[in-house]
Amino acid sequence: MNKPSLSPEDLMAMMADIGGRTDLGPIVAELETCLRDTQSFDPLRLAATFGGLLTVPELQSNCLRLEALVHLTLAVGDGRSKPNRKIVGRLFEEAGQGRIGFKEDPAEDIFVTLIVTPRGDFRVLEGIWESAGFYLQRIVNLLELLPVGDLANQLREPVYALLRLSDVVCQRASLARYQLGSDKRAEALPASVLNTVSTWAEIVSFTEADFKEHGIALEHLVAFGFPADQRARLPTRRLEILLWSDFRSCIAMASSASFCRRRPVPPFADSSLR
């Protein structure tokens, strides 16, 4: 399929959002037909599949595309069908042929960074952000300087809950600290990924028993709770970073939205999405 030509208006719009944010509205319009075909799929399963693909080192430079697809499939899906290689591969390829594809840049840092704390070390995916681990480490160091007390704990405990969640995801994906990713932008998903498409959601899916096993208290994630009634508004947002989980099937992944950056862990069961 030939890539669509850009009109002067499209070019100006792309230049306007070069600063790191991407409006999802025009992307929804570009992918209208493909997104319509996703409505029969379970939104959590499909979004979780793309969330799982964020743990594939070879797809590091496709981070922006995958984050957008997590965002949009969570918003649009309204059925119960399980993701298959056809819809996942098609969404990935078509998303790369428009604005998102033009904005994909080679990754500027390692794939997996390490955050060192008094409570242990935690692996974190850097995505495409240069020195993301450096700045996150400084924030954690600052939290550790706060005096002991209830107020400081209210800030520290949710942060450590998210760090533990991130480390477990990396463990499930067999990712090592300081692991390199790829600076090559993939046009299509590798056959090895498509052939195992049913397994990727498992990497970022958690039961309450899983949380308990890894010492993650659900109440520490509530502070980041994303309201289920905001789901339909996701396509109107701008791309940022999202880490979210469903309290029943408990999905955790990376995605995108400025609103979700503030409240990135939606505490809803999948029944509330219907």
The pLDDT value recorded for residue 139 is 94
Q: What is the mean pLDDT of each run of 10 residues along the chain (274 residues)?
A: 56 52 76 90 91 96 91 87 95 90 86 96 90 93 91 90 95 97 94 94 90 91 70 58 34 39 46 36
**Rounded to two decimals, what is the model's pTM?**
0.80
Contacts of 155 (CB under 8 A, 6+ apart): 143, 146
Q: Please name the residue ranges forming H helices in the chain.
A: 8-16, 25-30, 32-36, 43-53, 63-76, 85-95, 99-103, 132-145, 150-172, 191-194, 200-203, 208-213, 258-262
The pLDDT value recorded for residue 268 is 40
The pLDDT value recorded for residue 203 is 94
221 — phi, psi (to 5°)? Answer: -95, -15
The pLDDT value recorded for residue 87 is 96
Quick one: which of 213, 225, 207 has its CA closest to 268?
Answer: 225
The pLDDT value recorded for residue 108 is 84
**CA pair distance 22, 99, nearest whole angstrom:** 9
pLDDT digits (tens, 9 = 90+) for 163-179: 999 999 999 999 999 99
